[in-house]
Structure formats: C-alpha cells, structure tokens
Amino acid sequence: MSKHTVTITVNGEAHTREIDSRTLLVHFIREDLSLTGTHIGCDTTSCGACTVIMEGRSVKSCTVFAVTADGKEVETIEGMAQNGNLHPLQEGFWEKHGLQCGYCTPGMIMNAKYFLSKNPNPTEEEIRWGISGNLCRCTGYNKIVEAIQYAAEKLQEEG
Amino acid sequence: MIPGDFTYFAPGSVDEAVKLLVEHGFDAKILAGGQSLIPAMRFRLAIPEVIIDINGITDLSYVRQENGHLAIGAMTREVQVEESDAINGQYGLLTDAVAVIADPVVRNMATVGGNIAHADPANDHPAVMLAYDAEVVAVGPNGTRTIAIDDFFTGLFESALEENEILTEIRIPTPGANSGGAYQKIERKVGDYAISAVAVQLTMDGDTCSAARIALTNVSAVPMRATDAEAALIGKTISDDVLEAAGQAAAAECDPSPDLRGSIDYKRDLTRVLTKRTIRMAVDRAKG
C-alpha cells in the first residue's frame, strides 16, 4: 500500500489529506471532501459526468489520480455560485431548460466554463464540438447549446 | 472500478525517471496523461506494481521548430498542439489529427508521447507519425538515442522502447515545398476509436506525386504503413484512376478485425474510400 499526503486546492480552499496512491481525483472530491456535485457516470472516460477544471482546463476526474493533482487548483460545480448568485452558466441551464435528469449537468457546466474561457463568443457548431466529450441522454443537446449561448452572451455583457 | 494498488513515484526529471525504471523494470509503468493507462488499470487490464508519474517533468512539454524538424516534447498535451503557434499552417496532417483524437476533455490531459508509446494501433498518432517519417527520441541508462518511426512499432502494444527507456520527444521532418498532408477518420461517435483512419503526407511536382507516405489507423494489429498504396501513387499523375488504385491497394493490404464497428469487408471498403479522400485533400494542400 502506497500512502501519500496531498494538498489539493478545491474551489479556492486547500485540503490536505492522506490518500492511497490509487485514489482517483473524483473519489477524492466526492468521498474525502464530501463534494458530491461531481458525478460518476461511465467510469470509462467516455461520458464526462465527472468533469472538473484542473489548472484552468477541463479534465475527466475519473481518469486522473489524486496524487497527480497534488499542489494543483481544482474547480467543481460547488464553486460556481458566488454569494448566493448563480453563475451565468447555471442561470442559462435554468432559463433555457438545459437539463432534465440533471446527471450530466455538473460536468457539462464545468466543461462549458472551460470552453467559454477559451472561446467567449462561439458559434453553435463550436459549442457542439466543445461539449462533444460530455454525454447527455435526456435533452438531445439543443437546450444545452442554448444554455451555453445564454451564458456566453451574459458573460460578455458583464465583461 | 478502482485500480489495483501500486507504489507511486513522481520524479522531477527524466534522469530520475530513468533511474526508477532501471530499479523497477518490468513492474513499472510510466504515467503520462493517463487517458489510456488509467482506464486500463480500472478494468484491471493493467495491474502495474509501480507507477512512475512524469506529469511533474514540465520541461518535456513543448512544441518548437528546430533545425529541419518540428520537435514535440513527450508530455505535450494534445490541446497544446492544437493551440501551438509553432505549427503555423505547415502541418495539416498533424492539425487534422489532434482535432479528432478522443474528445476535447480527454485532449486536455492526453499527451502526444503517451499516444505513441502506448503503441496501440487504434490510436491516431502512430499512423500520423508513420506518414510523417518521424523520429522518436528515447532516453535510457546509456543515454539518448533516436528511433526511426518505421522501426518503432513492433507488435500490439509493443514498441522498440526498452523497459528502462522513456520516450522524451517526437521529431517531425519539416515538410518541403509543394508538400501537403491530411488525416481523415471515421468514428461511430466522438471519443470512440476509429473504424478506420488514413494519414497521408506527400509532395507534388506539378500534377505528379513525387513522394508519399500513407499509414492506417485501427485496421491492423500493429500500426502500419500502406506501402502498396504509396507505390500506386508515387511517380503518377493524379487522376481518379490513380486514386482508386491507391485506395484499392490500401484496402487489400490492411488487416482489420471484425468487431462492433464493422465487418472486415466494411472496414476494407471504408479504408479504400478514406485513402482516396485523404490523398485528394493532401494533394489540394500541397498545391496550396
């Protein structure tokens, strides 16, 4: 058994824990930190339900060892709303009905946040390619695309 | 699905990583982006006793134009290739490929070096690098050596890397004048492996193809060049008949396995069509 002490900053707060080397980042987030907004879907790097942002880029947290994330900054869905106000992406998913069962939503929103940070004014096609690593089995994606368009506009207005 | 237990090391330099490889040899696996290795560990298809995580070796992350070649550090993430200024419109084959590897989130972690070192015929970079006639740089206890890509892939998931060597860089020869390349892939959905994919890099002399390398993805047990297709193309004036001959040659020389993605006949025919399509695109780019 290989134990390691890691410090991972999640949503701005540093967390130090002793973990097994084989602990996956998604398990660290959900089980060690009790942040259960990040979901586990396929367990096979396919669905994107576990997407979080690490060091500014979206990653599938079921496919990163927590030890690799030692010393790094991670953002999860719990860090999106600030002072009780929804992030424009969360607001967009609300306003445009971007979810039905909601299982893919946290991963979808985190990847959309990364995507808009790279491409603040995307075309519809760019959005569809941008979220192509995140699967939704309810919406048919149209409402998700509209939610991201809503957020893109609002974020640009806010400057 | 939790991976099996392992002892973990995170070396800060290539030298340190090589020392660990020498010490642990066959029991150790290098962890690069982990987008193939970690799923394999979760399925218990791989149960390495030792993981040597090279994500901390940040000086292996670069894309730069050097004397006569494009140098890509092994730990360069696919997204960093997509974003690189060094590529500069000159590497159409590489640009095509990095846009269709896995999916955008996976590309944020997945590395060029890992994609090649894994030696999976379903991965995209093996065919790309075969078509480019690239070189692989490996560092081991006896120093650095370069391996021609034609000698690199030796079997299914097997490469010419010794068990105490680490892949550190890929060198793509800078394409000459009137050269062009392309990569075309058909997949059932984003993120799946290719049903078939074709990599082409060629040089034109007017309407005649003066040099060409063609390689195929996921239609053989070992990443392969389509040398019969190349022979059908080189020295020929491009025409529909020449393209069809090259496509048929590739379809005949590949060796696909039937699976959920299709039958042998389907994959051969798809390879024929993709070969024609990819050559045509490469020719258009070569003519600028």
Q: Are residues B268 and B165 in the same domain?
A: no
Q: For chain B, what is the radius of gyration of the CA atoms?
A: 19
Q: Are residues B155 and B190 in the same domain?
A: no
Q: Say yes or no: B134 and B107 in one domain.
A: yes
**Could you report the per-residue pLDDT of B94-106, keeping only the tens digit for each?**
999 999 999 999 9
Paired residues of B262 in beta bridges: B259
Distance from CA of A44 to the nearest CA of B (A): 6
Measure Cα distances from B212 to B129, B139, B147, B247, B287 in Å. 13, 30, 20, 14, 14
For B194, counting Cβ atoms within 10 Å of its Cβ (0-12 exposed, 13-18 middle, 19+ buried), the class is: buried
Mean pLDDT value of segment A42-70: 97
CA distances from B225 to B132, B216, B230, B284 (A): 11, 6, 9, 22
Q: At what angle do helices A88-95 and A105-118 cross, to 10 degrees?
A: 120
Burial class from Cβ neighbours inside 10 Å (0-12, 13-18, 19+) for residue A138 reads middle
Give the number of domains in chain B: 3
Which of B173, B196, B226 terminates a domain? The answer is B173
Give the closest-approach CA distance of B28 to chain A in angstroms: 14
Q: Do B103 and A22 touch (CB under 8 A)?
A: no
Domain boundary among B121, B154, B173: B173
Do both B95 and B130 map to the same domain? yes
DSSP element (H, E) containing B94:
helix B92-98
| B161 and B105 co-located in one domain | yes
Contact of A134 with chain B, judged by CB distance below 8 Å, is answered with yes
DSSP chain A: --EEEEEEEETTEEEEEEEETT-BHHHIIIIIS--TTS----SSSSS-TTEEEETTEEEEGGGSBGGGGTT-EEE-GGGTSBTTBPPHHHHHHHHTT--SS-SSHHHHHHHHHHHHHH-SS--HHHHHHHTTTS--SSS-SHHHHHHHHHHHHHHHHH-
Mean pLDDT of chain B: 97
Q: What is the pLDDT of residue A2?
A: 86
Tokens found for residue B85 = 């200024």
Q: How far is B179 from chain A (nearest CA, A)?
A: 29
Element (H, E) at B205: strand B194-205
Find the CATH number of the domain harbouring B38: 3.30.43.10
Which pLDDT value is given to residue A1?
A: 62
- B1 domain residue, yes or no: no
Same domain, B77 and B47: no
* Domain final position from B123, B145, B173: B173
B148, containing H or E segment: strand B143-148
Backbone angle region of B109, left / alpha / beta, with phi > 0 → left and psi within -120 to 50 → alpha = alpha
Residue-wise pLDDT for A142-153, tens only, equals: 999 999 999 999
Q: Does residue B2 belong to any structural domain of this protein? A: no
DSSP B191: T
Q: Within an 8 Å CB–CB cutoff, is residue A20 touching chain B?
A: yes
- Please report which confidence band the pLDDT of residue A70 belongs to, taking 50, 70 and 90 as the band edges: very high
Q: How far apart are CA B236 and CA B191, in angstroms?
A: 37
pLDDT tens for each residue of A100-131: 999 999 999 999 999 999 999 999 999 999 99
User: Is the distance from CB of B109 to CB of B33 less than 8 angstroms?
Assistant: yes
Those of residues 185-204 in B touching chain A at CB distance below 8 A are 190-191
Judge whether B245 lies within some domain: yes
Instruction: Kindly state whether residues B145 and B192 are assigned to the same domain.
Output: no
Give domain status of residue B256, yes or no.
Answer: yes
Closest to A95 in 3D by CA, of A137, A144, A23, A22: A144
- Contact at CB, A59 and B10, closer than 8 angstroms: no
Residue B108: give its domain's CATH number. 3.30.465.10
Q: Indicate whether B90 and B145 sit together in one domain.
A: yes
Convert the pLDDT of each residue in B22-53 to its tens digit: 999 889 999 999 999 999 999 999 999 999 99
Residue B180 has pLDDT above 80, yes or no: yes
Torsion sign, CA atoms B44, B46, B52, B56? negative
Helix-strand-coil percent breakdown of chain B, rounded to 5? 35, 30, 35
A126 touches chain B (CB under 8 A): no
B28 within some domain: yes
Q: Which residues of chain B make contact with A45, given a CB cutoff of 8 A?
A: 35, 38-39, 106
Residue B33 covered by a domain: yes
> CB-CB: which of B2, B31, B103 is closest to A133?
B103
Please give the Cα distance from B160 to B117 (Å, whole number). Answer: 9
Choose from B108, B188, B193 for mutation: most chain A CBs within 10 A.
B108
In a domain, B264, yes or no: yes
For residues B220 and B262, membership in a common domain is answered with yes
**pLDDT per residue over B230-273, tens digit each?**
999 999 999 999 999 999 999 999 999 999 999 999 999 999 99
Structural domains present in chain A: 3-79 (3.10.20.30), 88-158 (1.10.150.120)
B91 in the same domain as B76: yes
Report, as an integer, the average pLDDT of B185-193: 95
Q: Residue B89: is its pLDDT beyond 90?
A: no
Q: Is A22 in the B-facing interface, judged by CB distances under 8 Å? A: yes
A58 contacts B7? CB cut-off 8 A: no
At B272, which amino acid appears? Answer: R
pLDDT at res. B241: 98
Domain with B230, as residue range(s), is 179-286
Residue window 157-176, chain B: list those with CB within 8 Å of chain A. Answer: none
Domain match, B116 and B185 both: no
Q: Of the candidates B86, B118, B84, B90, which has an alpha carbon nearest to the alpha carbon of residue B102?
A: B118
The answer to whether B41 and B47 are in contact (CB under 8 A) is yes
Query: Which residue in the set B3, B105, B109 is minimally distant from A111, CB to CB?
Result: B105
Residues B131 and B92 placed together within one structural domain of the fold:
yes
CB contact under 8 A, B38 and A63: yes
Q: Is residue B98 part of a domain?
A: yes
Task: Please count the CA atoms within 13 angstroms of the CA of B40 that sit on its side-chain side.
Answer: 14
